[in-house]
Amino acid sequence: MLTVSALTKSFSSGQERVAVLRGVDLAVQPGESVALTGESGSGKSTLLHLIAGLDQPDSGDIRFAEATISTMADAERAAFRRERLGLVFQQFNLIPSLTVADNLVFQARLAGRQDEAWRAELIERLGLGTLLRRYPEQLSGGQQQRVAIGRALAVKPLLLLADEPTGNLDEATADEVLALATDLVRRTGCGFLMVTHSERLAGMLDRRVHLHAGLIH
């Protein structure tokens, strides 16, 4: 479903170019959850940003079944991200001026992909029913992250991308939030790629890939 081939990316550092990704190959199948590990600075977030279309690779391809995002123009890539991808970051990135209910519908509405029945199921499964009228600042970290996951999945994405999604949560809450996310991913059949430093959390997913010296091992 996602196929990344021979992806390279370098950044300028002073006079030099530093090659962060040197030919990354990676595939994620529908319904599969994959943990992306690697030491600090190995390029995990860079890879995730490229897959999300937030930045452009130097060379190589990023393909989904229905589209090659690495060759899309900026506007087309942004639309693909909005409509077909779910993004969850460590900072929950909820919209502070919107209630939980409105945060949940916001992206789906923008994407023109509203599905009432699916949203109701997400609310139920993520235990958000009693929180719908609250604002993000009135929620705990675990609750905010459950809303962020619900928002990302509300569009029924092809792929859920998460960068240290439970990094701000205590262990028990992190485990609980990730268990919910993997369960929903299996249910929707979307792929799930998650950056993590945690061996424990990586072990909860179907498979693990390791980024080292610019390559996936």
Question: Binding pattern to ligand ATP, positions 65-84, x when CB under 6 A?
Answer: --------------------
Please give the size of the binding site for ligand ATP, defined by CB under 6 A: 10
Rule CB under 6 A: is residue 11 a binding residue for ligand ATP? Answer: yes
Which residues, including other chains, have CB under 8 Å from residue 106's CB and lie 6 or more apart?
Answer: 95, 98, 151
Residue 189 structure tokens:
């059949």
Q: How far is the CB of 55 from ligand ATP (least distance, A)?
A: 7
Rule CB under 6 A: is residue 119 a binding residue for ligand ATP? Answer: no
Q: How far is the CB of 217 from ligand ATP (least distance, A)?
A: 14
Rule CB under 6 A: is residue 199 a binding residue for ligand ATP? Answer: no
Query: Which residue's CB is nearer to ligand ATP, number 43 or number 142?
Result: 43
Query: Which residue's CB is nearer to ligand ATP, number 54 or number 67?
Result: 54
Distance between CA 78 and CA 142 in Å, rounded?
28
Length of the chain in terms of residues written: 217
Rule CB under 6 A: is residue 20 a binding residue for ligand ATP? Answer: yes
Contact 128, 150 (CB under 8 A): yes
Rule CB under 6 A: is residue 166 a binding residue for ligand ATP? Answer: no
Question: Binding pattern to ligand ATP, positions 35-54, x when CB under 6 A?
Answer: ---x-xxxxxxx--------
The Cβ of residue 14 has, within 10 Å, a number of other Cβ atoms equal to 6
Q: How far is the CB of 18 from ligand ATP (least distance, A)?
A: 6
Rule CB under 6 A: is residue 107 a binding residue for ligand ATP? Answer: no
Q: Which runs of consecutive H residues, i.e. helices, occur in the chain?
A: 44-51, 74-84, 100-111, 116-125, 141-154, 171-188, 199-202
Contact 107, 94 (CB under 8 A): no
User: Nearest-CA neighbor of 159 among 93, 72, 55, 62?
Assistant: 62
Q: How far is the CB of 193 from ligand ATP (least distance, A)?
A: 13
Residue 155 structure tokens:
């569009």
- 3-state SS, residue 160: strand
Chain residues in the site for ligand ATP (CB under 6 A) = 11, 20, 38, 40-46
